[in-house]
Structure 1
Amino acid sequence: MQKINKINQYLLENYPSIWNTRLVWMLLLGIAIHIIFFFIGFVSHGSPSTLQHTRAIDDYFSTGLVFVHIIISVLLIVGWLIFMFKNNAFKNFYPGSRNKLFLEFLQYFIIVFVSTTFYFSYMTGFRLFINYKYDDETMAKNVDIINRSVPFLSQNIEDYTLENRLSPKPFVDFYCETDINKIDKTKKYFVYHDRVYQYFRLYPKTVKQTDERGQFIYPEEEKKNKTALAYFENNNDDKSRTYYFKQQVEDLSQYIKTAAPSYYNYSAVFYDNANNPSTDIRKYRYENDINNLNNKEIYKQKQIVINRETIRILEKKSSKELEKLMEDFLAVSRDFDIANNLNARDWSAMVYHPDTFEVRSFIKLYQTKPNEIYDPNKAPEGRYGDYTKTVVVDSAAVSSDNYLNENGEIMQDTISARDFNPNLDREVSPKDYFKNNISGFYYYTSDLETFLGNVDTIKTDDFFWDAVHLYIWIAFALSVFIFSFRVTDLRSLLFSVISAGVIILAVTLFCVAVAFTFGFKGTFFILYTILVVGLLILLMPFITAGRFPKVVSSVFMIISMMAFPLFIWLIFGIVNEHQVAGCRSQVYVSDTYLNCRGVLDDFGLKISYAMIMFTFVFLYLYTGFIRKWKALPE
């Protein structure tokens, strides 16, 4: 205590402003609490199971720790204000220069900022723990083991059908047609129950011309010759489209041992180290514009690698090597605390059928209760992972009743699956085959996906720069509020709040009245009306100072300090609207409006930091007027 008194006496004699604001003690107390939150973040996710729910990076908010943060911040700030406001002498004391006055505001800002930013300490501890326990080198090895092992989990029959195969090279070069209406019966094709597969060599044709609706024109020669279309894709510049037409059927019998679901066909990348589980491009080819998938070619190369590696393991026909891979995978699963009841010996026996390596047994996505019917599309109780996967596609979905031709017209189904497979009625459908061959084993694949995604997200997410500007604005608003009270009084502060509400109401009623009276609707009218009012508010303290009672200028002075950031944002908004309006006046197709961008779109969060910089410069300059205003007689 004696040491504290000596420090306070030293500050009082040499730095009275710092002594009055309690800056030193508030910083020490704030840093101590930051260390506590850092420790909480470091130990909060010691168990891997805490990383098996979506968005673990948001646990600070979802677990309620943020409310503890708010309570501590409120207690710190209120306690600080009580001690600071006890010094009435300093309430009337006025610094001798603009710099001293601005530095007093900065002290308020620093104290409030330190007292409200415990989130960053928590997240720093959280990230440090993740980087320590799940280092990049180890995780890269684990992900490699996972991606090579998941093909043998056999939880989704659709991952093992023939159209998924991408290795060897002919499977990449040729297009696999699965619509029975588009199969050439005179050429080689492959049949599995009601599924038909045929491989085509394609040739591309790129067009840039559009019609009056802005739609790309279908190639005239192919339309005239009725050349079969495989698919099309818009190029990255969205200024051209490439159509892929069928040239001839290719026979890949030498590579295809069976048309039934086989481990040879698996090509999905379970996890691609890009912060999210993988997405199979083939599932989107007909339903979506394929160019909407980011880095599709890079991802396809990863699919080829997975398929090639899976085939390499199968071609060795070594049950011991297969079992060793599964042991490594289960060891990783134990480290990550993934729920399962697999063992390498039984699992490898389920997979090892060296004749064709057909998928003959399936593993559940979750553990079922006694007498519970397994539903692959149902999330088990207490789990919130992505279990909404279509494990099997019904025959009606594969052999659709209709499809679109090159002119966009609906063509009715004219061919039956029985035309390709006379034994269709005597065979088990893929849906029933899946149900009949569900094993008693389970593996929570979704938990593994979520865990890997959370680890990568926490490592790479820029939580500081994405959120710090919000905490800066919170600290700024509270600091200006406190600063306004210190340089004026409670009466001026209350009048400024009331006046601001009246001004907002008056501007709103004026704009509404003009719109109803003159039938005028315009964004620019509203923006420029607010701009004029804002300029008047900024000028009013200079106009009223010395001419009206001191409280009048103090009201506009407080409003100016509080609302200046909004004024800067308004200027950026007006510039943005002019840029967008100018862009839209030069385009003719309504769809291209989406490409018209302004300064707010281009700079994003940088605008917020620019506003912060301008506001602090404004306050530094404005303290000169505050000093003169304070010197005015009451």
Structure 2
Amino acid sequence: MFKDIQKKLLLKYPLLWNTKFVPMLIIGLIYHIIYFILGYAEGSIDFTGKTYDPDNEVAINFFGFLLSLIIIILWIVYYLRNNSFKALYKKSKNALFYEWLQIFIISYIFISFALPFYLGKQLRERSYYSYEETQKRCETICLSDVFIDGSFAETERDSIKQENYIAENADENEYNEYDNEEYNRNGYHYFYKDHLYYKGTKYNENSLINRQIDNFDIINYEREIQLKEQIKNWLHTNNKVAVKNLMNDFLKIYKEHQLETNLDLNKWFSITYKAPDFTEFSYITAYDFREDDRENQNYYDYSKENYRRHTNGKKYSKYFFQYDILKEKYNKVSNAHVDPLFEYNAILAFLYGALAFSLLLFSFKTTSGKSWLIALIVFGVLNIIFGLGSVLIRYLYNYTIDETITYLSICLLFILFFIGYYIINTHIQKNKKFTEIALILSTWTFSMVIPFIYFIILEHYKDTYIFNELGTNTRTEFYYTLTDFVPYMFLINFIISIIALFLFSRSIRTWKGLPEN
């Protein structure tokens, strides 16, 4: 099939024939489909926790990287067999740009195989429940943790004169300047109260009223605040019906996934719901640590010693939920619904990876291999010299100069020098002697001009501080604006680089026809 396609392309579209674009495009699309299927299979979730969820991402992506590398190497071997540009074959003004564009597309397809993999994985994780159903279930799970093993929130802070604090605790030998409670040098000892007030009623700090709720990414901050207020109000108003309904909804989800517990609704309610103080409740284990069932616990089988450290001295009852398993599985579904299907930064990184590789290959195609290797050595040596030089300059100026700014500035000057040298010799003096190295280095680095200028400005404002309204030093608002704009800068730079390369490719065609002297 590929041979027939190539024969037709050779007669009608020799450029497409030379780059092997159509066969590589077909292979790349098949490659992406395979990795989408692999990702979809990887996204399966075993809610029961009886078997491992697939965790083969690293191996699959590493194999994909090796396979892509092999395919690209084989493609390069066939692609470099014919070089109409070096043979002075007649080409249109934009032929070089179209050739680079095909190289770029092929490079991007085989570099970005991970994108369909993670797309398939995320779609599979989303497929278990709709967004609304996932949010509803996650709210039930996180509220139920108040009656399982939720942590306690911090109460209000109070203070006492340091000398009084020492005197009060002298007999019990409890005073320690470096204990967990804060010590302030102005003579006050700060600590958290052992109680809190909710709607005028006083509760102990270890009351269920003060328990935190768990959270999932699908529950935004405003909704989390509403849920916290809701569960507190239920307890404060002694709303047993609402609490029992919550527990019942949780148990339905729990039993649906065949997770184990030694509690039913009535028992769970009776050992945790101790109105009106809510302090004499039983602590329920959020893990299954039963001695006689360790073989069935898989990788959730923690040692007793680790468990004791986890409990922080709490006296847990014999009752348990496999809450850790439930939360881990729903975290996956929650994150799948919240995370974007296509990560902007990942796409941008693959675009720049393909751009860098295509420019390396394009420069080799338009120049000699000897000059390409010399340019590579020059590029490496100059970077070492610039790096050492920037450190030395900072040392000579008593560390008052930022070495990052110095390094970027020196690199930028040399990039502009190579580009200027190439342009002057090609379009003004019309002589290409000694310009081949400059052409290669310009091809590799012209897309770095805007980012280097941007990061020089960013580094400058990084060390610029102003006094805010609180009288403390802070960076300028402009610095944070520049930081937030970095991904968009790279996108704009990519678009500008494509336009510049279109003009640059025409210039290379002109350069090829110039005499050596």
User: Which TM bucket (shorter chain)?
Assistant: 0.7 to 0.9
Q: Identify the residue that residue 510 of structure 2 maps to in structure 1.
A: 628
> Which letter does structure 1 place at the counterpart of 2:330?
L
Change (3 A) 1:519 1:446: same
Q: Identify the residue that residue 146 of structure 1 maps to in structure 2.
A: 141
Q: CA deviation at 1:552?
A: 2.7
Q: Is 1:268 the equivalent of 2:212?
A: yes
Q: What pairs with 1:67-466 in structure 2 (closer than 5 Å)?
A: 67-87=62-82, 92=87, 94=89, 96-153=91-148, 155=149, 159=152, 263=208, 265=209, 268-271=212-215, 273-274=217-218, 299-311=224-236, 314-316=238-240, 325-335=246-256, 340-351=261-272, 358-368=279-289, 370=291, 381=301, 434-435=314-315, 438-462=316-340, 463-466=342-345
Q: CA deviation at 1:594?
A: 6.9
> Which letter does structure 2 place at the counterpart of 1:328?
D
SS at match of 2:318: strand
1:542 aligned residue (415, 418, 423) = 423
Change (3 A) 1:507 1:255: closer
Q: Is 1:531 the equivalent of 2:412?
A: yes
Instruction: Tell me if the contact between 2:108 and 2:354 (Cα under 8 Å) persists in the aligned partners.
Output: yes
Distance in 1, Cα, partners of 2:399 & 2:138: 61
Q: Identify the residue that residue 617 of structure 1 maps to in structure 2.
A: 499
Q: CA deviation at 1:616?
A: 1.3
2:359 aligned residue (469, 473, 480) = 480
Q: CA deviation at 1:49?
A: 4.9
Change (3 A) 1:94 1:562: farther
Q: Is 1:500 the equivalent of 2:379?
A: yes
> Which letter does structure 2 place at the counterpart of 1:144?
E
Distance in 1, Cα, partners of 2:268 & 2:450: 64
Q: CA deviation at 1:551?
A: 7.0
Q: Deviations over 1:175-215 (max 9, x none)?
A: x6788999xxxxxxxxxxxxxxxxxxxxxxxxxxxxxxxxx
Instruction: Tell me if the contact between 2:135 and 2:218 (Cα under 8 Å) persists in the aligned partners.
Output: no
Q: CA deviation at 1:268?
A: 2.5
Change (3 A) 1:498 1:71: same
> Which letter does structure 1 place at the counterpart of 2:494?
I
Change (3 A) 1:328 1:507: closer
Q: Is 1:604 the equivalent of 2:466?
A: no
Identity of aligned residues (%): 25
Distance in 1, Cα, partners of 2:442 & 2:144: 64
Change (3 A) 1:586 1:259: closer
Q: Identify the residue that residue 560 of structure 1 maps to in structure 2.
A: 442
Distance in 1, Cα, partners of 2:94 & 2:49: 49
Distance in 2, Cα, partners of 1:541 & 1:579: 33
Change (3 A) 1:23 1:308: same
> Which letter does structure 1 place at the counterpart of 2:25?
L
Change (3 A) 1:539 1:315: closer
Distance in 1, Cα, partners of 2:198 & 2:362: 79
Q: CA deviation at 1:116?
A: 1.3
Instruction: Tell me if the contact between 2:216 and 2:334 (Cα under 8 Å) persists in the aligned partners.
Output: no
2:6 aligned residue (4, 8, 27) = 8
> Which letter does structure 2 place at the counterpart of 1:11?
L
Q: CA deviation at 1:449?
A: 3.5
Change (3 A) 1:626 1:273: closer
Q: Deviations over 1:327-378 (max 9, x none)?
A: 4312312445656444334323423557766534221122225399xxxxxx
Change (3 A) 1:460 1:13: same
> Which letter does structure 2 place at the counterpart of 1:502?
V
Q: CA deviation at 1:626?
A: 0.6
> Which letter does structure 2 place at the counterpart of 1:43?
A
TM (normalized to structure 2)?
A: 0.77
Distance in 2, Cα, partners of 1:251 & 1:128: 45
SS at match of 1:597: helix
Instruction: Tell me if the contact between 1:267 and 1:306 (Cα under 8 Å) persists in the aligned partners.
Output: no
Distance in 1, Cα, partners of 2:69 & 2:378: 27
Instruction: Tell me if the contact between 2:158 and 2:191 (Cα under 8 Å) persists in the aligned partners.
Output: no
Aligned residues: 478
Q: CA deviation at 1:467?
A: 0.7
Across the aligned residues of Structure 1 and Structure 2, the Cα RMSD in angstroms comes to 4.4
Q: CA deviation at 1:629?
A: 1.6
Distance in 2, Cα, partners of 1:12 & 1:627: 22
Distance in 2, Cα, partners of 1:633 & 1:180: 88
Distance in 2, Cα, partners of 1:95 & 1:337: 72
Instruction: Tell me if the contact between 1:145 and 1:329 (Cα under 8 Å) persists in the aligned partners.
Output: yes
SS at match of 2:434: helix
SS at match of 2:479: coil
Distance in 2, Cα, partners of 1:119 & 1:50: 28
Change (3 A) 1:74 1:341: farther
Q: Identify the residue that residue 522 of structure 1 maps to in structure 2.
A: 401
Change (3 A) 1:570 1:354: closer
Q: CA deviation at 1:144?
A: 3.5
Structure 2 unaligned regions, length at least 5: 163-185, 294-298
SS at match of 2:215: coil
Change (3 A) 1:230 1:599: closer
Q: Deviations over 1:39-73 (max 9, x none)?
A: 111121322359999xx99x675x32220120121
> Which letter does structure 2 place at the counterpart of 1:21?
T
Distance in 2, Cα, partners of 1:64 & 1:272: 28
1:21 aligned residue (19, 22, 29) = 19
Q: CA deviation at 1:459?
A: 2.0
Q: Deviations over 1:502-534 (max 9, x none)?
A: 333444455556556676852455544333222
Change (3 A) 1:443 1:24: same
SS at match of 2:287: coil
Instruction: Tell me if the contact between 1:262 and 1:357 (Cα under 8 Å) persists in the aligned partners.
Output: yes
Q: Deviations over 1:143-197 (max 9, x none)?
A: 23324433322x25x64x9x87xxxxxxxxxxx6788999xxxxxxxxxxxxxxx
Change (3 A) 1:545 1:94: same
Q: CA deviation at 1:77?
A: 0.7
> Which letter does structure 1 place at the counterpart of 2:496?
F
